[in-house]
Structure 1
Amino acid sequence: MTTIIAEPASPGLDALLPDDPVALAAVANAVAVKLAALPLAASTEGELLAAAESLEQARRRFDAADAAVLVEISDRGAYRTAGYLSLHAYLSGGLRVGDGAARRRRVAAAAIGRFTNMQGQTLEPRCPATADAVADGQIGVDHVLEIDAVLTRIPAAVTTDVREGAEAQLAAVARTLTPAGVRTAGIRLLAHLDPDGQLTDDRDRRRLRGLALMPQDRQLMSTLRTRLTPGLRAELEVMLQSWAAPGMNNPDDPASPTGAMESADPAVVAAAAERDDRTPMQRNHDALHALLILARQQSNTPTSASGSGSLRSELVVTITDAELAAHAGIALTATGTRVPISELVRLAADATPHLAVFAHTTGEPLYLGRGRRLASRAQRLMLFARDRGCTAPGCAAPFARTEAHHFPDWQDGGPTDIDHLGAACGSHNRTVGTAPGQWETRIAATGPHTGRVHWRPVTPTTTPPTTPTDTSGPHRWQLNTIHHAELLPTTDPDPPPEPPAPPEPD
């Protein structure tokens, strides 16, 4: 098999290319467009292979260029100009690459990028040999991620020179291996550095601990990824020995004892165990579920004296009255979980969650004027029913992590009324203002999305008009549809929202 190595552009061609990064990026974009449109039927097999090799090498070199751009954006905080709170938010929402791709590109940039320190000095890459291999077009982001994952697992007790040598070795083998091959080589390297596990200490275990609840799949099931410290594992094993014993906490057996086995009648437990046909994994699942229900019920307290009406520690669910009557459909919790109506009924029997049914009102006061700054409990419930989560464009924060945002801001005379409030996570709530890089917000008074909260970045050169008119471009009004599948874009553009009526003076 012949390996074709693509060479960089010739000096003559390099002299024709612009030095302005924006213009150069436009040239690269134009090259990609023209290359995609070229007829390839007349090309020989060797030419096609050469083109594929060149494209792959260019793609990997673009990974180095991408890291350089991201480092500069990060150092300057340029993402704020576009109205985003962080580099990750800009990549995920602004460039629409999603959370996973944003994380991968940030990790790669952190490994091979040249950052600037507080004294204005340009630092060498954290992984210099890896950065050189990417610049040569020999490895890409996937290789970088595997190298970074191996380096993260090296015990803290390993000396700096050994760690640097390990990075150089991994970068060298990555030039000839696939990312999966780098992972295999990394496992062998870790085994060589700490063959008996003696170098790993509490610092490493604390650094590597974690628990992640993955998104729900099409069956509404979720995967739990976790790395447990020895202490948590010991606690969990003790709990499962009791709560997950055969016959205990069985949701399919009405006569099954709940709680710890030590507090149940042994005869009842024995009888329930005879009827228990669950697998050990299913018993572990049901035990954890029962323990969490008990913990939440014991932690729930009446609304605090501050009157914030927070719903963070309560099970709050929104459904339509038609779904509730038909006993079918999918409900949504304030934390963003989708729950089948059939399971919701079982939850309600145990936990009595709050249900916000759209076709009915609670009869509680939703208009408080200027007499109170914090939203009431009733208002928070209705905001959940309407917004379901943060209303900022592209923000996936569930309602449990949001605050009641005023339109206009409270300090500018905004009333605490339901039609002057919207759900916003704490980070986005603090971005609302009149300066460039901040956001302005409105509730639509007309159109198909009447009553929905709209956001747009404040333009750098103009004062936001009283009646918005622009519906296109980077500073257009935007509606977050992440929490509302029924609001996904249609062929008709969304009309600009009208601002709410100004509040009456006190």
Structure 2
Amino acid sequence: MNGSSYDGAGLPESPADLIALADAAVAKLNEVSFAALSGADLLAAAETNERMRARTEAATTSLMIELSDQFAFQAQGYMTVQKYLTNGLRLGVREANTRMKLMFATGEFRAIGGDRLPARNPETAQALREGAINRGHVAEIDAVMDKVPARVDAETVAAAEAQLADVARGLSPEAVRQAGARLLGHLDPDGELTDDTDRRRTRGFTLAPQDQRLMSKLQGSITPALRAKLDVLLTAWAAPGMNNPDDAESPFGAVDQDGLDADALAAARERDTRSTAQRNHDALAAMADFVLGHGGLGRPDRLPAELVVTVTDQELAAEAGVALTATGARIPVSELVELAAHASPHLAVFKNNTSEVLYLGRGKRFASKAQRLAMFARDRGCTGPGCDVPFARTEAHHVARWEDGGCTDITNLGAACGKHNRAEGSGPGKWETIVLADGADAGRVGWRPAGSDRRWQVNPLHHVGQDPDLLPHGPPRGAGSTIEAMLSRLLDAG
């Protein structure tokens, strides 16, 4: 050791020993004070610390790839590396996604033959291993490279990635983004190389999770064809005066439909104070009502084709709280009646998260619609630990397997997404399930790694906020606040 530098001589070769040593070093670092360092030493330490953090990111990527290659995560019952990161290491979805993107951008994966393949962005990966750039630089470089037209030759693509990795050594991630924009303009100045392949590759449409106000943001990139279709639809459905939820006399549907009262539309236009964005939103809501009301979702005997809502009797009585749909959307109970007026909903009202017990025995393997409704009322989504898949995307899982004589009874069924349903079994990396007989989670489906003696786990994600103590309290608001009256209004609306 010489001053503040260390050449690594005498360090162990074992990765496990190196990680343990690094952990001990950082633990010790938290016990000492930086006050003894001069300003110059503090600056040097800050630079070394950032280099160490970047190198750690690169080493973590290698660790996760090896963990994936050996399927080591299955020993703890996880089906993918991402699920292990999200729930096993408790990183959460956002951080797990960030690390997965970093891994795909800079990791060296193993080919079918066993050889290591070069990283997707090799020069960027090398700069990260050297600690010259950080994960922010990697994200910007990878985003730029993803926009390079497919028709650009491989040699030019490699040179562009190397150039970005080189300039990233002296720039911030935001500056790299600007450099990348100039580079893309140089590679395809007239946009002539961009074709349908590139547009299809970068298409996407995402609904962000609901926020505290239960609002959701949209983000995405749509193809020219979809843009053209939306332009036509919004021109007709988002016209001033049309589909205004705040105006009971506002015409419903498209502005150019046959039989539309021109005088009524003109009057509605005069009353319409909405912005263009608000009219677009209301048009989308009206089109959704039209699709739901005209059987546009396919087979009527399947839950995903219908609007299904579950709510507790306490929430109905108080006209407060949040109802849940089978697709995972949360709706304020105060808006439930209005929603029911535009569809033919199945309303599951149950006492303290219990539901009617339905039996089919061995007469039928697949769950009936009534059983699916009862499962939704009880499970609300996938019962697999930590799984956020909503009920509409789940399957009916037999706790006692059908092949082993298990019955198609609600007491032997649980909601499980496709991955968790296929993960049940007795082999390595599999899960075993049970319907818990007692305790606070009685009646719920419990999961644990097959053959282990670990405690049974239930999935709390779909039941957060169901504690009666969390409901808003206050006197009922008029006669409509009784359960019977609320049900009557819902039935009349439906």
**TM-score calculated relative to the size of structure 2:** 0.89
Unaligned runs of 5+ in 1: 465-469, 489-506
Once residues 72 and 250 of structure 2 are traced to their aligned partners in structure 1, the CA distance between those partners, rounded to angstroms, is: 59
> Which of 210, 215, 219 pairs up with 1:216?
210
Residue 295 of structure 2 is aligned to residue 299 of structure 1: yes
Between stretches 94-103 and 315-324, larger displacement belongs to: 94-103
Partner of 1:275: 271
Once residues 76 and 94 of structure 2 are traced to their aligned partners in structure 1, the CA distance between those partners, rounded to angstroms, is: 21
Partner of 2:127: 133
Unaligned runs of 5+ in 2: 468-494
In structure 2, relative to structure 1, the CA distance for the partners of 1:302 and 1:378 (3 Å cut) is: farther
In structure 2, relative to structure 1, the CA distance for the partners of 1:279 and 1:103 (3 Å cut) is: same
> Which of 149, 164, 167 pairs up with 2:143?
149
Partner of 1:101: 95
- Counterparts of residues 191-202 of structure 1 (less than 5 Å): 191-202=185-196
Partner of 2:54: 60
* Aligned residue identity for 1:484: H
Between stretches 358-367 and 109-118, larger displacement belongs to: 358-367
Q: What is the deviation of 1:487?
A: 7.7
- Counterparts of residues 40-439 of structure 1 (less than 5 Å): 40-263=34-257, 264-299=260-295, 310-359=302-351, 366-439=358-431
In structure 2, relative to structure 1, the CA distance for the partners of 1:89 and 1:364 (3 Å cut) is: closer
> Which of 454, 459, 468 pairs up with 1:480?
459
In structure 2, relative to structure 1, the CA distance for the partners of 1:148 and 1:432 (3 Å cut) is: same
Give yes or no for contact 2:308–2:347 (8 Å, CA) kept in 1. Answer: yes
Give yes or no for contact 1:6–1:54 (8 Å, CA) kept in 2. Answer: no
Once residues 19 and 214 of structure 2 are traced to their aligned partners in structure 1, the CA distance between those partners, rounded to angstroms, is: 42
Residue 28 of structure 2 is aligned to residue 31 of structure 1: no
Between stretches 334-343 and 90-99, larger displacement belongs to: 90-99
Partner of 1:496: none
Partner of 2:477: none
Give yes or no for contact 2:355–2:378 (8 Å, CA) kept in 1. Answer: no
Tell me, what secondary structure is at the counterpart of 2:347?
strand
Once residues 242 and 416 of structure 1 are traced to their aligned partners in structure 2, the CA distance between those partners, rounded to angstroms, is: 48
Give yes or no for contact 2:152–2:193 (8 Å, CA) kept in 1. Answer: yes
Once residues 277 and 372 of structure 2 are traced to their aligned partners in structure 1, the CA distance between those partners, rounded to angstroms, is: 38
Once residues 415 and 130 of structure 1 are traced to their aligned partners in structure 2, the CA distance between those partners, rounded to angstroms, is: 55
Aligned CA RMSD, in angstroms, stands at 2.2
Give yes or no for contact 2:69–2:110 (8 Å, CA) kept in 1. Answer: yes
Give yes or no for contact 1:80–1:438 (8 Å, CA) kept in 2. Answer: yes
Give yes or no for contact 1:316–1:355 (8 Å, CA) kept in 2. Answer: yes
The count of residues paired between Structure 1 and Structure 2 equals 463
> Which of 7, 10, 19 pairs up with 1:10?
7
In structure 2, relative to structure 1, the CA distance for the partners of 1:287 and 1:302 (3 Å cut) is: closer
Give yes or no for contact 1:242–1:260 (8 Å, CA) kept in 2. Answer: yes
Once residues 128 and 148 of structure 1 are traced to their aligned partners in structure 2, the CA distance between those partners, rounded to angstroms, is: 11
Once residues 106 and 89 of structure 1 are traced to their aligned partners in structure 2, the CA distance between those partners, rounded to angstroms, is: 11
Q: What is the deviation of 1:486?
A: 4.4
Q: What is the deviation of 1:286?
A: 0.6
Tell me, what secondary structure is at the counterpart of 1:356?
strand
Q: What is the deviation of 1:6?
A: 7.7
* Aligned residue identity for 1:237: D
Give yes or no for contact 2:297–2:306 (8 Å, CA) kept in 1. Answer: no
In structure 2, relative to structure 1, the CA distance for the partners of 1:347 and 1:6 (3 Å cut) is: farther
Once residues 463 and 104 of structure 2 are traced to their aligned partners in structure 1, the CA distance between those partners, rounded to angstroms, is: 35
Tell me, what secondary structure is at the counterpart of 2:294?
helix
Q: What is the deviation of 1:361?
A: 11
Between stretches 117-126 and 329-338, larger displacement belongs to: 117-126
* Aligned residue identity for 1:10: D
Give yes or no for contact 1:300–1:314 (8 Å, CA) kept in 2. Answer: no
Give yes or no for contact 2:298–2:305 (8 Å, CA) kept in 1. Answer: no
Which structure exhibits the higher relative contact order, with contacts defined as CA atoms closer than 8 Å and separated by 6 or more residues? 2
Give yes or no for contact 1:6–1:53 (8 Å, CA) kept in 2. Answer: no
Give yes or no for contact 1:170–1:185 (8 Å, CA) kept in 2. Answer: yes
Q: Deviations over 1:39-93 (max 9, x none)?
A: 3343433333333222211110011111111222233333333322222222222
In structure 2, relative to structure 1, the CA distance for the partners of 1:60 and 1:118 (3 Å cut) is: same
In structure 2, relative to structure 1, the CA distance for the partners of 1:111 and 1:303 (3 Å cut) is: closer
Percent identity of paired positions between Structure 1 and Structure 2: 53
Tell me, what secondary structure is at the counterpart of 1:483?
helix
